[in-house]
A and B are shown apart, each in its own frame.
Chain A
Amino acid sequence: MKRFAILFPVILGVMFAVAYLPAVREYLVGPFTIGITHLSGWLIQAWGGNAVVTNNVLALPDFAVQVLDMCNGVEATLLMWAAILAFPAPLRYRLIGMGVGFLAVHSVNILRIVSLLYLGAWKPEWFDWVHWYLWDALIMLDILLIFLAWLHWMPLADDRRDPAPR
């Protein structure tokens, strides 16, 4: 656990330092954010909604949201990946955890974006509170659940290799 406690903040710090390099934000995070916004808009339209997407802005006739840091799920993904990478596990299980976790985080995040958009159109006075407090806590709990589920899913050591001699 001591190893995890040291590795986790180090890996997280390095990932954040890389993710916020101007070139990475310009050529990776930016296009990814636009992609997430377009996907959210497409889902709304698929369910009969009337959303318009321009770059990272998702708009209904009465309200619009701009998808920026934290709302694009990048920080949540890095947090989850740092936890998985810091935990001692075979590479295969780490990669599966990171991949499935990525999908899980962004599924919840898209739900957040869409729900906030409709909340803003319906009750704009609640938007800030739900955006900054409720959804932030829910996303963190989501990451925690993903990590714990990954820990729980990883088979016991004996299932992965020959039993150790007693």
Chain B
Amino acid sequence: MSRGLLIGLTVVVLAGCDAAPQDLRRALAMLHNDQGAAAFTQLQDLAATGYAPAQFRLGMLYLQGEVNAERRTLAERWLMRAAAQGDVGARYYRALLWLSRRRDADAVDAGAQALERLAADGFRPATLRLAQAYEAGDGVQPDVAQALSWYEQAAAQGERRAIERLATAYQNGELGLERDAALAQRWRRQLAREPFSLSD
């Protein structure tokens, strides 16, 4: 009984010592304390072990500053590896990278689909990004109906920027909508509502 308790206690104590996330936190702290070289090495080591959050950060590090073709390739490689493990940040930024390849229709399609999968998983920034992309023709072909649909989805999820956009659209008759001051006001009221949700 006491041996079992000791083993159990040991397991519990060690369970609180997951090294990779702690090492990542320390690497990020080094990055922000102007210890870039040491942070980079630490991130490389962590990424090489297959730790997805480190792979994502390493990919983003390659996208800092002047990004030449080599850095971009390295960034994509690490983002792909992290995204394959489901890392949300890597999925999102990989999608944005694909969307930015305007001359490559397959890449743009893949980017849009990746964002749609993230939106389906409930990640609101992806929903909003899709709406903005379809409205501005950013990467994808401009499509007002698609933009409106994604704005409405994002607004239904509570995304404030989507709510603001819909309120303005109803106010000014944008996004293919008829001017409707009452609906614009209703959307705006959602922004003004206190978290305590008392009467208007």
Contacts and interface: CB of A to CB of B under 8 A. Distances in A.
A114 B123 CA distance: 44
B17 interface: no
A56 interface: yes
Interface stretch (B68-76, B128-136, B191-199): B191-199
A146 B197 CA distance: 31
B197 A25 contact: yes
> Looking at A30, A31, A34, which has the most chain B CB atoms within 10 Å of its CB?
A30
Tell me what chain A mostly uses at the interface: helix, strand, loop, or mixed: helix
Contacts of A34: 198-199
7 contacts: A30-B199, A31-B198, A33-B196, A34-B198, A55-B198, A56-B196, A69-B196
Contacts of B199: 30-31, 34, 55
Range, interface on chain B = under 10
A86 B195 CA distance: 32
Nearest to A34: B198
Interface residues of A, number: 11
Contacts of B197: 22, 25-26, 30
A68 interface: yes
Nearest to A66: B196
Interface string A29-70: 011011000000000000000000001100000000000110
A155 to B, nearest CB: 42
A101 B11 CA distance: 48
Nearest to A22: B197
Nearest to B193: A26
Nearest to B196: A68
Interface string A137-166: 000000000000000000000000000000
B26 to A, nearest CB: 35
A149 to B, nearest CB: 32
